[in-house]
Amino acid sequence: MAFRCCPWDDITGEDALTRSCESTPRVLILGSCVSRDILNFAEKGTITLTDYFARSSLASIGSEPFRLEDDHYARISSDFQRRMVRRDLEKTLLHDLSTCQDVDIILIDLIDERFDLYEASPGAVVTVSSEFLMTGLVTSKDRSSERWIRNGSERHRELWKAGVDRLFALLAEHGMADRVVVNRVFWADRMEDGMPLPAQEEKQRETANSLMAWMYGELERYVPERGWMKFSDEVLRSNPAHRWGIAPFHYVDAYYTDALHQLTNMCLAMRQDGALLLKSGELFAWSGKISCPAHRTFFLIFKDNTLVHKQSYSVDRRMRFDTRHLPGNYEVVIFTLVMDSVEPGQMAARRHKSKFAFHIDQVH
What pLDDT score was predicted for residue 20? 38
Query: Domain locations in the chain?
Result: 26-270, 273-360
The single-letter DSSP state of residue 320 is E
Percent of the chain with pLDDT over 70: 85
Least trusted range by pLDDT, from 199-208, 238-247, 341-350? 341-350
pLDDT value at residue 362: 67
Residue 151's Cβ-side half-sphere holds a number of Cα atoms within 13 Å equal to 21
Confidence of residue 2 (pLDDT cuts 50, 70, 90): very low
Confidence class for position 4, pLDDT limits 50, 70, 90: very low
d(CA 258, CA 262): 6
Per-residue pLDDT tens over the stretch 99-134? 777 788 999 999 999 999 999 999 999 999 999 999
Q: pLDDT averaged over the chain? A: 85
Cβ 276 vs Cβ 6: under 8 Å: yes
Distance CA 304, CA 236 (A): 48
- Integer Cα distance of 166 and 274 in angstroms: 32
Top pLDDT among 10 and 178 is at 178
Task: Tell me, rounded to whole angstroms, the distance of Cα 174 from its chain centroid.
Answer: 15
Percentage of the chain modeled with pLDDT above 90: 61
Q: Is 361 exposed, middle or buried (0-12, 13-18, 19+ CB in 10 A)?
A: exposed
Residue 229, burial from CB neighbour count under 10 angstroms (0-12, 13-18, 19+) = buried
Read off the pLDDT of residues 135-175 as tens digits, 9 standing for 90 and up: 999 987 899 999 999 999 999 999 999 999 999 999 988 87
Distance of CA 231 to the CA centre of its chain: 18
Coil vs helix vs strand at 85: helix
Tell me how far apart the alpha carbons of residues 277 and 13 are, in angstroms, rounded to a whole number: 10
pLDDT in the model for residue 3: 26
The pLDDT of residue 350 is 65
Contacts of 343 (CB under 8 A, 6+ apart): none
Rounded Cα gap, residues 284 and 296, in angstroms: 17
Given 3.40.50.980, 3.60.21.10, 3.40.50.720, 2.60.40.10, which CATH number is that of 273-360? 2.60.40.10
pLDDT digits (tens, 9 = 90+) for 296-348: 889 999 999 999 999 999 888 788 999 988 999 998 998 888 765 444 455 45
Taking the C-alpha atoms of residue 168 and residue 223, their distance in angstroms, rounded to an integer, is 10
The model's pLDDT over 48-93, given as tens digits with 9 standing for 90+, comes to: 999 999 999 999 998 999 999 999 999 999 999 999 999 999 999 8
Q: Is the pTM of the predicted complex or chain greater than 0.85?
A: no
**Backbone φ and ψ of 98, nearest 5°:** -65, -20
Q: Does domain 26-270 have CATH number 3.40.50?
A: yes
- For residue range 10-54, what is the model confidence (pLDDT) as tens digits? 333 333 333 334 457 889 999 999 999 999 999 887 889 999 999
